Amino acid sequence: MLNKENVIEVLKDVIYFPKGDNIINLNMVDNLMVREDGIRFDLIVEQQDDPKNDILVNAANRTLKEVFGDINIDIKVKPEEKALSKVKHIIAVASGKGGVGKSTVAANLAVALARANQRVGLIDADIYGPSVPMMFGAEYEQPACFEKDGKSVMVPVERYGIKLLSIGFFVDTDRPLIWRGPMATSALNQLMNDALWGELDWLVVDMPPGTGDIQLTLAQQFKVSGAVIVTTPQKVAFADVLRAAMMFKEEALQIPIYGLVENMAYFTPSDMPEKKYYIFGKDMGQEFADRLGTKLLGQIPMVEKIAESGDNGTPLALDGDSPVAKAFDGIAQAIINA
């Protein structure tokens, strides 16, 4: 008998051999319509132009006609809509060492992009030391989850118009995360792929310091538009930054570098914003950028409120009149125009 339930049972005999299961269990059949005059459905595939698609379509046609006779069968091949398919650009915010304010730069850059009328998401991929929840005043939040096509999908937390996800939403931040490399990369993949990101202009990824598994996974498995490298003016910081930048230039990765951000470039007192005290050395950021063969995107001053704003969950880039916000606005525009 020709009905939807029977068609589904028959299609379970059509095996997609690369994944070792049938097209029903693999959720490859969508928009199934069964009528007296025929059968119509969409076949969801990984790649539109894969030669294996034709083999699968022919197998489905043959299997259905063996059971239901010479009926009309209309199968449309459609590429799988992935979680990041509507994300235009992925930015990696990286540093060679900890303590240079990389997470502060990532958070405030996301805010500056949102202030420029961009649709923005922020992933806290610093798996071992997640700080984004606190910086956005969301440490007690937990993303909503729902079932879609048999798997759990996360709904990012929203703050100041920015979609946020962090491992910090799911673990006890008072306890250290002792994870081996594969566990950390699996967590990154879930944050990237198992979330309802929707349409975004920019997805900012706050990377852990160094050149380890997380960096390689992001570079090799996702289409990263470019990297922003964060440094402080000290030469000891640049030695580590140089290694991080060289990683992105490796032939196997080939990720463009938008430029260098010099954090803690100078100190500006709140009562004398026109004053600049170069505590760690002057013009070091430009010297470092020249040595990397990239541009200096901007210099972020040290101000009294920057640590306080992060602790209070209100990134300083929200205050459009502050010198920090103006610096990040310039960096955001440079990236948008790149």
CATH of the domain at 104: 3.40.50.300
Q: Are residues 127 and 276 in the same domain?
A: yes
User: Which residue from 127, 124, 112 is spatially nearest to 161, judged by alpha carbons?
Assistant: 112
Structural domain that includes position 37: 4-79
pLDDT at position 251 is 62
- Is pLDDT of 16 > 80? yes
- Is pLDDT of 114 > 70? yes
CATH of the domain at 48: 3.30.300.130
In this prediction, residues 98-124 reach a mean pLDDT of 94
Q: Are residues 30 and 108 in the same domain?
A: no
Picking from 54, 79, 104, the residue at the C-terminal end of a domain is 79
- Is pLDDT of 235 > 90? no
Selected residue with higher pLDDT from 193 and 219: 193
Q: Are residues 265 and 131 in the same domain?
A: yes
pLDDT at position 181 is 52
Domain count, the chain: 2
pLDDT at position 286 is 92
Q: Are residues 146 and 239 in the same domain?
A: yes
- Is pLDDT of 322 > 90? no
Q: Are residues 159 and 292 in the same domain?
A: yes
Q: Are residues 111 and 250 in the same domain?
A: yes
Model pLDDT for residues 137-188, shown as the tens digit of each residue: 998 888 888 877 667 889 999 999 999 999 888 776 555 555 555 667 788 8
Contacts of 35 (CB under 8 A, 6+ apart): none
- Is pLDDT of 27 > 80? yes
pLDDT at position 242 is 84
Q: Are residues 42 and 94 in the same domain?
A: no
Q: Are residues 57 and 140 in the same domain?
A: no
Q: Are residues 183 and 238 in the same domain?
A: yes
For the chain, give the secondary structure using H, E and C. Answer: CCCHHHHHHHHCCCEEHHHCEECCCCCCEEEEEEECCEEEEEEEECCCCCCHHHHHHHHHHHHHHHHHCCCEEEEEEEECCCCCCCEEEEEEEECCCCCCCHHHHHHHHHHHHHHCCCCEEEEECCCCCCCHHHHCCCCCCCCEEEEECCEEEEECEEECCEEEEEHHHCCCCCCCCCCCHHHHHHHHHHHHHCECCCCEEEEEEECCCCCCHHHHHHHHHCCCCEEEEEECCCHHHHHHHHHHHHHHHCCCCCCCEEEEEEEEEEECCCCCCCCCECCCCCCHHHHHHHHHCCCEEEEEEECCHHHHHHHCCCCHHHCCCCHHHHHHHHHHHHHHCC
Picking from 79, 100, 115, the residue at the C-terminal end of a domain is 79
130/124 Cα distance (integer angstroms): 6
Mean residue pLDDT across the chain: 87
Tell me the pLDDT band of 5, cut-offs 50, 70 and 90: very high
Query: Is the separation of the CB atoms in 102 and 209 below 8 Å?
Result: yes
Tell me the pLDDT band of 29, cut-offs 50, 70 and 90: very high
Q: Are residues 69 and 198 in the same domain?
A: no
59: left (phi > 0), else alpha (psi -120 to 50), else beta?
A: alpha
Q: Are residues 55 and 71 in the same domain?
A: yes
In this prediction, residues 222-241 reach a mean pLDDT of 87
Q: Are residues 151 and 61 in the same domain?
A: no
219/206 Cα distance (integer angstroms): 13
**Global confidence as pTM:** 0.77
Picking from 58, 79, 100, the residue at the C-terminal end of a domain is 79
In this prediction, residues 254-274 reach a mean pLDDT of 87
pLDDT at position 255 is 86
Query: Is the separation of the CB atoms in 195 and 154 below 8 Å?
Result: yes
